[in-house]
Structure formats: C-alpha cells, structure tokens
Structure 1
Amino acid sequence: MPETTRESLLNGGWKTLEFEWFREGVTVHWIKPFELDQPGVALLNYEAGASVPRHRHEGLETIFVLHGVQSDEFGDYGVGSYVVNEMGSEHSVWSDTGCVVLIQWDRPVTILSEQ
C-alpha cells in the first residue's frame, strides 16, 4: 500500500500514488472513501485551469495545499495553506497553475451550478 503519511505527502510522495477520474481536469486518490456517515479523506490533483463549480458544503470540509495554488472567490491558497469551509458555506474552486490538496469532507458537497 502506498505511503500517505504526513512526511511523505509533504515531500512529494503524492507523485507516486495512483489517481482516478473525479471530474474534468481533477483526479482523486482516496485515502479513506466515504462510508455511510463517515467522512472521506482524499488527495485532489487539479490540472492547470481545472475547476469545480459552485457548491454547498453539507458538512465541514478542510483542505491543506500540498502543491501549487488553489483559488476560490475568497482568495488564493498556496503550499502550506489550511482552508476550512464550514457546513452551509458555498463557493467555486479553481487552480490556474494546477495544485494538489489533501481534503477531508464530513459529507459530500451539493453542486449548485455546472457553470
């Protein structure tokens, strides 16, 4: 099983992991998939220019940026940024340069618009 320790991920170990399609321009490596009422933990790899449309958080979401810059309507988040999106919050996400983030969702999000 590939190593997903904090030290490995911070040192670029995510580059050796297998990712699968998540949505156009974004791939995912599941560390812990969602199970019933259990949170999901994953790595998301955004290609340059990729985005996720406006969505609502149905539970707490936390993000730690491992590589590149992730952006939303509230700012740009570079390597080492820790972002907390509270339940009920809404935003869209993109990466002009491409990025890799460690993400934990309490619950899946609800996509509000595909634009």
Structure 2
Amino acid sequence: MLINADFSLRAVVAPSQYQWVRSPQSGVERVMLDRVGGEKARATSIVRYEPGSYFPRHHHPGGEEILVLAGTFSEGDAHYPAGWYMRSPPDSSHQPFSEEGAVIFVKLRQMSESERRSVRINTRDSSLWVAEHGRESCPLFEGPGEQVSMERLTPGSLVFNGFVDGAEMLVVEGSLSEGEQRYDCGSWIRLPPGHYPGFVAGNAGATIYLKIGHLAMSHRP
C-alpha cells in the first residue's frame, strides 16, 4: 500500500479529509497520513482508541514515535494524558491500551537502527519550554538527520527562517496559514527540502509538532 509515498512531493491532510479505517484490533481506528507497505509498514497515522480498547503485546522492529493528542494512552502501569511525547526504539515492545479513550499521532518504522534510547516527555510541563527567536520551543529529540520539537508561535510569526531540509508538521492548537491557504488544528503537512517563507501562525497563534531533517534522504521506494 502506498499513501503519500513520494517524499519528494508536498503532502497535506486536513481534518475534513480524515478517513477513519478500522485496524485489525476491535475499537481502534486510524487515519493513514503516509504509508509504505501493508499492515506492517513504514507509516504515519492518527490513531483513535475507543474507551476500553487495547492492542495485544507486539514488537516495533523500526521503533515507534507517539504524541498523545486527546484522552489518555497507557502502557502497563504507565498512563500518558494529552501532551505526552514518546519514542520507543527499534525492537522494543509494549501492550498499549486506553481506559477512557485516546487519540494519538503515531510514526512507525522511521528510526535509525542505532537508536536505543526510550523517551517520555510531558510537553505540558512549562519548565521544558525555551523562549528563543520570538517563539517558544519544547525540544523532544535530536539525532543524526532528525530534530523534533513542539513549537508555540505567536500570531503572524514565521514557522521557518531560510532553507528547510525537509519538514513535517501537525497543527496541535490554533492554525497556520500560507497565503490564502489555512491549516486548522489537526492538519498534517509534509514538505520536501526547500524554502517556505509563506508559512505563518494564524490569528490566534499556533502550537505545532515539528520534525525537520528526516526527509533529506527519503525517496519513493
């Protein structure tokens, strides 16, 4: 299966375009944002857990990255409400579930084989945010060719300054605009390397998940 699989092209999925698809597990649905492969795929998705739903224990050969958008996502005795960011390295395993229901942003099989560090960050902890260059940033991860953060932008402020070596954004709060185009909360945007001076925060500002650098070497398989 190929969905937005040509990484040399811009890809956008707005909330109005969400197509919820049942997963193999009862009570769990997903919106496929990009995908290369079948059920076991390099994939980026929005996943929705109904209250009381779960997945059996399983491994992630290429790692898993999660941002909790709503509700509470759980693993064993650990519970992660909205705002938590997680990275589980290649060959890790878990048995996820949600008692109250949850919506999460998930990236699968997109980590370096050398990555071994587990990351758990509460992005709603104000002490983790740093003010710089007229914006606030919450660093989440930095590795070879990849930098991940949450960015809090004031109204009208630029998202990018200069050349971008590929970028991926999810609008978590507020909105972005690019000329006449508006990207509301829930919009997912993937940009190949280039210059994007037109992206600015909307009238109420914006909070976005931002990953840069990881698309520089990507290509259509």
TM bracket, shorter-chain basis: 0.7 to 0.9
Structure 2: how far apart are the matches of 1:35 and 1:103? 16
- Report what 1:80 is aligned to: 83
Q: How does 1:1-115 map to 2 (within 5 A)?
A: 2-3=13-14, 13=15, 17-22=18-23, 23-35=25-37, 39-73=42-76, 75-106=78-109
Gaps of 5+ in 2: 1-11, 111-221
Structure 1: how far apart are the matches of 2:13 and 2:90? 31
TM-score by length of 2: 0.40
Gaps of 5+ in 1: 4-12, 108-115
- Figure out how many residues of one structure are paired with residues of the other and give that number: 96
Structure with larger Rg: 2
| Identical-residue share of aligned pairs (%) | 25
CA RMSD of aligned residues (A): 2.2
Q: Are the structure 2 counterparts of residues 87 and 2 from structure 1 closer, same or farther at C-alpha, using a change threshold of 3 Å? A: closer
Question: Deviating runs (4+, > 6 A) in structure 1?
Answer: none
Which one has a larger percent strand, Structure 1 or Structure 2? 2
Structure 2: how far apart are the matches of 1:25 and 1:68? 15
- Residue type of the alignment partner of 1:62: E
- Residue type of the alignment partner of 1:55: H
- Residue type of the alignment partner of 2:19: E
**Per-residue deviation at 1:74?**
5.1
Which one has a larger percent helix, Structure 1 or Structure 2? 1
